[in-house]
């Protein structure tokens, strides 16, 4: 498995790691408004790092169903002060920026190197790929159809896993043609998929390892969990943990999560299980 070079520092991918979610927006489905000041964001970042997060993923917009996209200027207004503060306060942190905007990448690059976590598959901004190639940043390629505000209308597939694989393969070709080699793939749980399609992808997640790239999953407290269990997102931690173990057993290398300590424990149990099988 290819390690990631982020600003001259290596993030090893031979074992699973945790990416902690830091939303600095008021309308996120689970934690909107909780960390929208620099002080609160830094405290939460410190807590996630102390609990074992390897990567901090900073986002300034909601991508929940029916959410509308925001401008680069709005996004920067929300996240630039926080990103600058994180780089100054925790300079050894591996940072990820949840953005689809080349302008956001360009502006934030003055503070340091980071992973670009793009929900759009570079569909929303034609300058995103050239900008990432120029910077040499790692890139998260995620599958999605449409935009958050209408993606539920696009959840139509003859074979969801085959079509997501085909989409990723075509996009990977484009990225490599542009000179981008450091790539993480994300099948896009909850993005233009029904609940049953999400579970089918999770059951067959191992097929996404065919690219020999790190596979990231974003399952944390999503509707496939809380709607199946008929509970609220606040009560979905146990279900999240259960599905994280399934994902790890099927090849996931990065867990993108709200709850760090529980995800770290899940990885420890997975490694103990995996080592016992290999003894």
Task: Say whether pLDDT at 62 is over 80.
Answer: yes
> Over pLDDT 90: what percentage of the chain?
86
> Tell me, what's the pLDDT at 208?
98
Q: Which of 193, 256, 268, 271 is catalytic?
A: 256
Query: Where along the chain do its domains lie?
Result: 4-278
User: Which SS3 state, helix, strand or coil, does residue 249 take?
Assistant: helix
| Predicted confidence (pLDDT) per residue in 23-51, tens digit | 997 655 445 456 778 999 999 999 999 99
CA distance 205 to 167: 15
> Tell me, what's the pLDDT at 149?
82
| Predicted confidence (pLDDT) per residue in 221-264, tens digit | 999 999 999 999 999 999 999 999 999 999 999 999 999 999 99
Cα 86 to the chain's mean position, in Å?
Answer: 18
Measured between alpha carbons, how far is residue 111 from residues 35, 80, 118, 171, 249 in Å?
A: 20, 9, 19, 28, 36
Residues 6+ apart with CB under 8 A from 95: 6, 55, 56, 57, 58, 83, 86, 87, 112, 114, 115
Please, are residues 244 and 257 in contact by the beta-carbon 8 Å criterion? yes
For residue 222, indicate whether it is catalytic.
yes
For residue 256, indicate whether it is catalytic.
yes
Q: Which of 147, 222, 227, 271 is catalytic?
A: 222
> Tell me, what's the pLDDT at 148?
85
What architecture does CATH give domain 4-278?
Answer: Alpha-Beta Barrel (3.20)
């Amino acid at each position: 498995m290819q390690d990631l070079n982020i600003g001259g520092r290596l993030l090893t991918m031979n074992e699973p790691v945790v990416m902690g979610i830091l939303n600095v927006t008021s309308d996120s489905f689970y934690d909107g408004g909780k960390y929208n000041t620099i002080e609160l964001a830094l405290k939460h970042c410190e807590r996630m790092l102390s609990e074992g997060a390897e990567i901090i993923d900073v986002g300034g917009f909601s991508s929940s169903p029916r959410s509308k996209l925001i401008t680069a200027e709005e996004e920067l207004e929300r996240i630039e002060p926080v990103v600058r503060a994180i780089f100054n306060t925790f300079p050894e942190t591996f940072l990820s920026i949840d953005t689809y905007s080349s302008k956001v990448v360009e502006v934030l690059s003055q503070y340091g190197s980071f992973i670009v976590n793009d929900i759009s598959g570079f569909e929303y901004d034609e300058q995103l790929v050239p900008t990432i190639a120029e910077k040499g940043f790692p890139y998260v390629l995620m599958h999605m159809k449409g935009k958050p505000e209408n993606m539920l209308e696009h959840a139509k597939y003859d074979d969801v896993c085959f079509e997501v694989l085909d989409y990723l393969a075509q996009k990977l070709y484009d990225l490599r043609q542009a000179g981008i080699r450091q790539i993480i793939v994300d099948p896009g749980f909850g993005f233009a998929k029904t609940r049953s399609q999400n579970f089918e992808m999770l059951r067959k997640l191992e097929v996404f390892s065919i690219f020999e790239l790190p596979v990231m999953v974003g399952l944390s407290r999503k509707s496939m969990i809380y709607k199946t269990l008929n509970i609220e997102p606040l009560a979905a931690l146990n279900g999240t943990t259960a599905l994280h173990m399934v994902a790890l057993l099927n090849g996931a290398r990065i867990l993108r999560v709200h709850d760090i300590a529980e995800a770290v424990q899940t990885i420890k149990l997975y490694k103990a299980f995996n080592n016992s099988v290999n003894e």
